[in-house]
Amino acid sequence: MKIGNLAHLTGLSVHTIRYYEKIGLLPDASRDAGGRRQYGMEIANWLTFLKHLKATGMGISGMVRYAQLRAEGPQTAAARRQMLEDQRRTVQQQIDALQATLPVLDNKIEIYKDMEKAHVMEADHARDTNTIPRIQQPDKRS
């Protein structure tokens, strides 16, 4: 499989795949006669797993650390499990943080619904500012 094909398969760009190789997330690909990268299915699986790790919010540096542990062999299994367990915890924290924003949004949405009603009734003055100051717009109306 050539790099364009792999890119299509994984949804990553060709640029990104070469970038991942450069920073050590992918093994240096074997090349065909013309010097082009040749890939097998296992790389697609590895990239898919990397996409999952990325979806957990793990950054490049974390993924590189994971990849390096992996390269060191089975004796790092415990360390890798530890990383994944840590990451699981941060995922849960992210979920909790997002959950916590929902009532804040809902609250505001309700306030706006009331405001809209009031506005329609022409009693539309200064109920907008529930302790939050108005910002004079930078006047970018052409």
Partner DNA sequence: CTAGATGTTCGAGTGCACTCTAGGTCAAGC
Partner DNA sequence: GCTTGACCTAGAGTGCACTCGAACATCTAG
Binding interface with a copy of itself (CB under 8 A)? 24-28, 40-43, 45-46, 49, 52, 55-57, 67-68, 70-75, 77-78, 80-81, 84-85, 87-88, 91-92, 94-95, 97-102, 104-106, 108-109, 112-113, 115-116, 118-119, 124-125, 127-128, 131-138
d(CA 142, CA 12): 39
Residue 92's identity, in one-letter code, is Q
Contact 91, 56 (CB under 8 A): yes
Counting residues that bind DNA (by CB under 7 A) gives: 23
Contact with DNA (CB under 7 A): which of 11, 27, 30, 36?
A: 36
Q: How many residues does the chain have?
A: 142
Considering the rule CB under 7 A, would residue 88 count as an interface residue with DNA?
Answer: no
Considering the rule CB under 7 A, would residue 3 count as an interface residue with DNA?
Answer: yes
DSSP 16-80: HHHHHHHTTSSPPPEE-TTS-EE--HHHHHHHHHHHHHHHTT--HHHHHHHHHHHHT-GGGHHHH
d(CA 4, CA 16): 11
CB nearer a copy of itself, residue 61 or residue 125: 125
Residue 133: contacted member of a copy of itself, DNA, none (CB under 5 to 8 Å, by partner type): a copy of itself
Residue 70: contacted member of a copy of itself, DNA, none (CB under 5 to 8 Å, by partner type): a copy of itself
CB nearer DNA, residue 7 or residue 43: 7
d(CA 130, CA 24): 51
Contact with DNA (CB under 7 A): which of 11, 32, 82, 124?
A: 32
